[in-house]
A and B are shown apart, each in its own frame.
Chain A
Amino acid sequence: MPLDTSTYSLALLRLDGRRWNELRRLTAQISTQVAADGSSYLEMGNTKVMCTVAGPSEAKGAGGVRLGNDRADIRVSISIAGFSGVDRKKSGRNDKRLMEMQHTIASAFAQNLFTKLYPHSTISLSIHVLSQDGSLLAACINACTIALIDAGVPMHDYICACTAGSTSSYSSNDETADPLLDLNTMEEQELPFLTVATMGESDSVSVLIMETKVQVGRLEGMLAVGVDGCKQVRAILDGVARARGTKMLEGSRM
């Protein structure tokens, strides 16, 4: 479906009525699954993701005692429900895009968590995508952060992610292009965009993935908006975690 960018330049409103720097509605629930060590449910607009954490637990599997295992191993598995997208597609086991996402999440959290505290153990994250409407990787990363907080795994800071795009495609070289925050599927198909994840409130970038062509001059604006969006996301996630903490304290007093 072609995105009519001319309407954007007239009213400066996007297809869903947002301004350029507005996030979609972001809601998160913590500790949704009783059986899991940590769990979360996160909605970024119409993208809905569930994450459960098992561990840190004893490393099992054929690998046995592996040398240099002085830190916890992080395993991520993502399953995308068949009904989550517009067209019902069965993704294979060896989908390279999914494997890349799993690798990205695992290596981002490997640096963020204090894995050295858990030698010879495994932390496994399983992510279930229930509905897709853009910013999939960002939603997965945010859900993992919340679930790991619920599991009580110590971490340096929140890893928060969101997407940022640019209003005009690479071919037109106009300088009036606005950066956009938090794209939905229709915008993602049409415009150049990147997914960025930062550490907490700092400006340091943990994950940055861009798959579309864009002029190099646009990157700075997109990155700045993305990093700013990550800070907004952090505030929301922090609110969720703190609300949960308060609730737990109240429960223990009784």
Chain B
Amino acid sequence: MPREVEPSVNERQFFEKALAENLRLDGRAFDQFRDLELSFGDEFGVADVRLGKTRIHTNISAEVTTPYPDKPFDGLFTITTELSPMTSPHYETSRPSDPEILLSRILEKNLRRSQALDTESLCLIAGHKVWSVRADVHILSHDGNLIDASCISVLAALQHFRKPDTSSEGENVTVYTLEERDPVPLSLLHFPYCVTFSFYPSTVEEGETVILLDSTLLEEQLREGSATIGINKDGELCQIAKLGGISVDAVAFLGCVQVALARVKEISTFVIKRLAEDAKKRDKGDLMAELRAENDR
């Protein structure tokens, strides 16, 4: 297995010197994000997010299974992330690496523990049949900030996904194909997006920590600490993960949370806009309104 290529001494010095002059290597401002692109596949539940050169593809699938005996009313929701050698040659498929564990833990805390997807709505027959929703996150290209991008990708895919409609008579559940009945969207309670901050020690004595947003791969390799804040547009913090690294002043950190909130509002509107565009594209001849079974409530 090849080792991760570390930045050379020249790259490191160039980066530090640029940072001292308030410059980033790609010319962005410290708090500026790269361009976010989001596209959906032909099928429901396929989202492709591009954040600069980082590209993440998420596929949502659902099947009917039996629930866990201790939670008979809850459906299952699993997120699988795998950093394969396609992402970067130094990732192995067999053994989970540190970044992979942190990525899956943060997605788990942000989306599962905060009940973004209402798992109780996935229940068909208590204790016997529930939907099992699975999100497969594929990292196609790694240029930093995997956490934010995969979080956007999973949430966009969940909003885009439609599960087949069902009806139940006693113990029997009928799952209708997409042709028979219009599929139904998932019940999502809120949309917590992640924003990751990278910290660098100050270049001057007794100066403040330099904080960068949306770091590229090189910036990530050179950073001395990072913090991921998961928050929804209503101002509910879902998780904070500052796992060690250099220390940051508490007041500066509270500032970061406000920045994250503002950013998450932007992301939310962006995703909603793209979803609306996609829905319009699918709605050929404005037939959806007539064919739809559900009422406006």
Contact = CB atoms under 8 A, between A and B. Distances in A.
A107 B247 CA distance: 11
Given A99-B98, A109-B244, A204-B249, 16 more contacts: A67-B6, A96-B104, A97-B105, A100-B101, A100-B105, A103-B102, A111-B246, A170-B236, A198-B247, A202-B247, A203-B251, A206-B247, A207-B244, A209-B240, A210-B237, A223-B253
A89 B226 CA distance: 32
Nearest to B115: A213
Contacts of A175: none
A170 B239 CA distance: 13
A99 to B, nearest CB: 5
28 contacts: A66-B3, A67-B3, A96-B104, A96-B105, A99-B101, A100-B105, A103-B243, A103-B244, A104-B244, A106-B244, A108-B244, A205-B242, A205-B253, A208-B240, A208-B242, A209-B240, A210-B237, A210-B239, A211-B109, A211-B113, A211-B239, A212-B239, A213-B115, A213-B236, A215-B237, A216-B235, A216-B261, A224-B250
Interface string A64-88: 0011100000000000000000000
Contacts of B240: 194, 208-210
B225 interface: yes
B241 interface: yes
Contacts, number: 111
Interface in B111-137: 113-115
Going nearest first, the 5 A-B pairs with the smallest beta carbon separation are A107-B244, A108-B244, A204-B247, A208-B242, A210-B240
A207 B253 CA distance: 11
A69 B234 CA distance: 45
B247 A111 contact: yes
A94 interface: yes
B147 interface: no
A217 interface: yes
Interface in B238-270: 238-251, 253-254, 257, 261
Interface string A173-217: 000000000000000000000100011001111111111111111
A205 B248 contact: yes
Contacts of B114: 213
Interface residues of B, number: 38
Interface in B2-44: 3, 6
Contacts of A202: 247
B224 interface: yes
Nearest to B109: A211
A221 to B, nearest CB: 11
B83 interface: no
B227 interface: yes
A149 B113 CA distance: 37
A206 B237 contact: no
Contacts of A216: 231, 235-237, 257, 261
B247 A199 contact: yes
Nearest to B227: A208
Contacts of A96: 101, 104-105, 108
B96 interface: yes
A219 B254 contact: yes
A104 B115 CA distance: 25
Contacts of B108: 96
B96 A213 contact: no
A247 to B, nearest CB: 31
Contacts of A213: 114-115, 236-238
Contact of B245 (A100, A108, A219): A108
